[in-house]
Amino acid sequence: MPSYKAPVEDMMFLLRDVFRSDAVFAEMPAQTDTDCDTIESVLEEAGRFCSEILYPLNMTGDIEGCRLENGKVITPKGFAEAYKVFSEAGWGGLSASPDYGGQGLPRTVQILVDEMLSASNLSFGLFPGLTRGACETIEAHATEDLKNLYLPKMIAGIWTGAMALTESNAGSDLGLLKTSAKPRDDGSFTVTGTKIFISSGDHDMAENVIHLVLARLPDAPAGTKGISLFLCPKFLVSEEGTPGAPNNISVGALEHKMGIHAQPTCVMNYDGCQGWLVGAPHRGLAAMFTMMNAERLFVGVQGLGVADASYQTAVTYARERLQGRTPGATVTSPIIDHPDVRRMLLSMRAFTEAGRALTLFTALEMDREKFHPDPEIRRAATGLVALLTPVIKAALTDFGFEATVLGQQVLGGHGYIREWGQEQVVRDARIAMIYEGTNGIQAQDLVLRKLTLDDGQPVVRLFGLIRKTLDEAEPVPALASVRHAVQNALAHLESVTKRLTSGDLSSAEERNAAAVDYLRLFALTCFGWLWLRMAHAQTEAGISENGNKPAGKLATAQFFADRILPQTASLAVQIGAGSASVMAPDAGQF
């Protein structure tokens, strides 16, 4: 039956051999203690918690789901207890500021733990994930009073956070939102409106829920420039930090969703509740967006996590399941011996390991952005993070979903029923392509904003890093064919990028029509680059000094180069065809 083992070995290979994180953190005064041995013990501890506590609750949570009773959300059996253990062990404050009780570990460690949480129990993982997002927003924008009152309890996991953005007529286009906020005499505000799709909107796992609500002040300009952010607690908090009277916040309904059934996605009514402004008036969207890179990286990692969970189950099943005979076999074969089953498993693995590498690369840049003393390095890191964030969010959830569909297919009929959990993983994985900005919106962000950010310097820098890896691999004969495939992919990407930024495809309409295919081309090229780096680190000629050599890296790199990376050529042709055929039909002709 299925189980989950955290991929600590692969994570440590990336940190030690591929990205040499000891040297990276040694440059950051706040992180000089963060060596690989420390990280490894954190990861092993987190992995144990995820395998032993969270993974067994994943299927029972899906079956039981959340329910609304007398206006209160009840989470599935075991969730509240697990959250208590989780919080008491300090997992909620791993990367939070030590000023408010956090452990101050780098984003890199946080994101590796996030992968495990997502893999073992996506519904559960959203509770601390959203709380962290809320904390980061509060820390960056709220007054000292609000920070001191709310952050310690939230970081300790005693209270959780929720982000209330979407309304029924304002999703991708938040400029349309209608929730209002009116000033009170005491400096606080009265917030009124209804929000939908609010994850962790209400539950029984913590003593308070702190809502960050986007709303309009009376004098607000129309559109996105008139949105402000308000902190609205479920229970009003005394000056000593004790929750007291209920605020006027109620659960309108629980959504019936395809998956993440153990996560309460609520319609929330803010019925003239009391709220406090976070950040400047009319600057709420900007405040919310300060934590958006981190949130989107987190969502990308969700796609990665569920894909790995699905992969692990598919491998277990494929080893045990005897069916058919491979060419030349005299007895029934385990299906892992059939070439087409191997193709499916390798496709999943080629994605998860490259996706993990891209995540780690980006998380290290986020840590540089936050902790590095050199402003030039910080600036460069900011650009790379901004560029890669939409790629990670969209590509890791698109490919992650595709991987879970493959992981289900490996099990045949047994993948369609509850038994092995593979169908749940598909249903759960699907949400990550939608929330925190749909993947179409991410692609628009990449093509319309990020390619031209800072005069295109981040793109130039990234392509330079890819070329550096190509150069370093050149003397190694074992890498020649992978290297050649990556070189081709980069050529396609560079050529299309030029057309989109300054060539025949640079109009807003052309970029919009090209965006999703372009993001896929971009991501596949990055994956190819990182496969070449990983394969290089595993060869004798590689510069590894730690001897951590997970099996099959070069083989998987070769598979990726042979069987997946060629897609970049077609994507370049598809993008190159332009928007004409997309725009041709009248709306009435669909």
509 to 538, contacts with a copy of itself by CB under 8 A? Answer: 509, 512-513, 515-517
Quick one: 34 or 352, whose CB is closer to a copy of itself? 352
Supply 582's token pair: 């997309």
- Choosing from 295, 369, 423, 436, the catalytic residue is 436
Ranges within 83-102 binding a copy of itself (CB under 8 A): none
Q: Which is nearer to a copy of itself, 6 or 138 (CB)?
A: 6
With CB under 8 A as the contact rule, which of the stretches 17-25, 111-119, 225-233, 563-571 interacts with a copy of itself?
Answer: 563-571
| Contact residue for a copy of itself among 278, 443, 459, 537 (CB under 8 A) | 443
**Is residue 558 involved in binding a copy of itself (CB under 8 A)?**
yes
Conformation bin of residue 549: beta by default, left when phi > 0, alpha when psi is -120 to 50? beta
The two three-digit tokens of residue 36, written as one number: 């690989």
- Burial class, 240, CB count within 10 angstroms (exposed 0-12 / middle 13-18 / buried 19+): exposed
The window from 13-21, 129-137, 296-304, 311-319 that contacts a copy of itself (CB under 8 A) reads 311-319
Amino acid letter at 509? E
Nearer to a copy of itself, 46 or 565 (CB): 565
Dihedral (CA of 429, 430, 431, 436) sign: positive
CA dist., res. 581 & res. 431, Å (int): 30
Part of the chain binding a copy of itself (CB under 8 A), chosen from 225-233, 271-279, 377-385, 572-580: 572-580
Residue 429 and residue 400 in contact, taking contact as beta carbons nearer than 8 Å: yes
Q: Which residues pair with 237 in a beta bridge?
A: 243
Of 207 and 509, nearer to a copy of itself (C-beta) is 509
Nearer to a copy of itself, 27 or 402 (CB): 402
Of the candidates 131, 160, 247, 556, which one interacts with a copy of itself according to CB under 8 A? 556
3-state secondary structure of 267: strand
* Cβ–Cβ < 8 Å for 24, 363: no
Find the binding residues for a copy of itself in span 421-440 (CB under 8 A). 423, 426-427, 430-431, 433-435, 438-440
436 flagged as catalytic = yes
| 251 is a contact residue toward a copy of itself (CB under 8 A) | no
Residue 495 dihedral angles phi and psi, to the nearest 5°: -65, -45
* Spatial separation of the C-alpha atoms in residues 502 and 499, rounded to whole Å: 6
Single out the segment in contact with a copy of itself by CB under 8 A; choices: 230-238, 313-321, 456-464, 466-474.
313-321
Using CB under 8 A, which residues numbered 264 to 283 contact a copy of itself? 265
The residue type of 176 is L
Structure tokens at 475: 């003397």
Nearest approach, Cβ of 246 to a copy of itself (angstroms)? 27
**Nearest CB to a copy of itself, comparing residues 141 and 553:** 553
Q: Are 178 and 170 in contact (CB under 8 A)?
A: yes
Q: Residue 259's Cα: distance from chain center in Å?
A: 17
Q: How far is the CB of 63 from a copy of itself (least distance, A)?
A: 8
N residues, the chain = 590
Does 569 interact with a copy of itself (rule: CB under 8 A)? yes
Compute the distance between CA of residue 319 and CA of residue 334 in angstroms, rounded to an integer. 6
Distances in Å between the Cα of 231 and the Cα atoms of 162, 201, 399 are 10, 13, 35
In the set 417, 460, 480, 543, which binds a copy of itself (CB under 8 A)?
A: 417
Q: What number of chain residues touch a copy of itself (CB under 8 A)?
A: 100
Q: Tell which one of 413, 464, 477, 547 touches a copy of itself (CB under 8 A).
A: 413
Candidates 124, 139, 115, 113; CA nearest to 46 is 113
Q: Whose Cβ is closer to a copy of itself: residue 183's or residue 566's? A: 566
- In whole angstroms, how close is the CB of 554 to a copy of itself at the nearest point? 9
> Measured between alpha carbons, how far is residue 277 from residues 152, 190, 213 in Å?
19, 10, 9
Nearer to a copy of itself, 87 or 556 (CB): 556
What residues numbered 163-222 form the site for a copy of itself, per CB under 8 A? 166, 169-173, 176, 196-197
The number of angstroms, rounded, from the C-alpha of 209 to the middle of its chain's C-alpha atoms is 23
Between residue 366 and residue 405, which ones bind a copy of itself under the rule CB under 8 A?
A: 401, 405
Binding mask 324-363 for a copy of itself (x = CB under 8 A): x-xx----x-x-xxxxxxxxxxx--x--------------
CA angle 17, 20, 25 (to 5 degrees): 155
103 near a copy of itself, rule: CB under 8 A:
no
Answer for which of 30, 158, 286, 315 binds a copy of itself (CB under 8 A) is 315
Residues noted as catalytic: 436
